[in-house]
Copies of this chain bind each other. A is one copy, B any other.
């Protein structure tokens, strides 16, 4: 797969583009939601599915909320609740949860993780000192480990080191992702029970953080914040070819349309000047969008971890 996507649903969509059927061998898909928010639950069932989808066996839920961009707080609240429900569906009952916010707070499209952390209702330190203030809350701790380029330490190593001391029985990692589609940027949340490779959104992939490497179950929550330049170029070429084909006949355009897709993608990657690999494609109002989506994700996690706490109460905990 030459085009980068971190979303299982986009891998499925790529399959559907050329397949004659909606059924993907080794993969189950289920849709849910309402007119504002669409939920898709993709499960990779076995190695056959993994091979096709390019994702490890496990559950991948996407919550898509196109109108989140228009900033209605009712949509944001609903999105938090849907996230909470889907997250709860993946969690078993836990004693202590560690939430890790991955990414670089100084690079806006990579700052989702660090922005979520201070919005969480964190309680672990209050359990011994002020137990009465948190008796209706679950034990939660959090960490923004930073990025390899700044720390010199793999994010997974930091999480493992801290996890070995605080002994959580669940780790939730939050990170920015890369999408194939501009319209998904900051409007889609993916929840996966297979862990994550940090730095997918911006920069190179790093060592995977999952149950195997950390030692306890890992749930990953990711939001696409960038589209990479090669994807933009590729998609545009596809659109150009489509437009040309629709408007014309003849041998040339037949040929054009029949260019092998794989080959074309490879060609584009090769042709891109090296400066391009340091560029990211991101919405103009990414600063505001990242604040908004961080709020949605943090509240979703708060609601899932602290059962029976209202959104009003969450606000009073998180200054």
Contacts and interface: CB of A to CB of B under 8 A. Distances in A.
Interface of A: 70-74, 105-108, 110, 117-118, 122-126, 140-146, 148-154, 157-158, 160-166, 182-183, 185, 202-203, 227, 229-230, 232-233, 236-237, 239-240, 242-244, 252, 255, 264, 267-268, 270-273, 275-276, 278-289, 312, 315-316, 318-319
Contacts of A126: 152
Contact of A203 (B142, B153, B166, B284): B284
B105 A105 contact: yes
Nearest to A239: B271
A310 to B, nearest CB: 11
19 contacts: A73-B315, A107-B287, A108-B108, A125-B153, A143-B146, A158-B162, A158-B165, A164-B164, A164-B165, A182-B279, A232-B233, A236-B276, A237-B237, A239-B273, A243-B267, A244-B267, A252-B252, A279-B282, A282-B282
Nearest to A72: B316
A141 B152 contact: yes
A46 B151 CA distance: 37
B282 A270 contact: no
B165 A157 contact: yes
A278 B271 contact: no
A140 B152 contact: yes
A106 B318 contact: no
Given A107-B287, A165-B157, A279-B281, A236 B239 contact: no
Contact of A288 (B106, B123, B158, B227): B106
A278 B284 contact: yes
A106 B287 contact: yes
Question: Copy number in this complex?
Answer: 4
Nearest to A230: B236
Contacts of A203: 284
A285 B280 CA distance: 10
Contacts of A271: 236, 239-240, 242-243
B162 A285 contact: no
B151 A161 contact: no
A148 B165 contact: no
Nearest to A163: B161
A316 to B, nearest CB: 5
A248 to B, nearest CB: 11
Contacts of A143: 145-146, 151, 153, 158
**Which of A106, A153, A183, A230 has most chain B Cβ within 10 Å?**
A153
Contacts of A227: 279
Contacts of A118: 106, 150
A125 B240 CA distance: 35
Given A236-B268, A271-B240, A282-B279, A73 B312 contact: yes
Contact of A280 (B142, B243, B284): B284
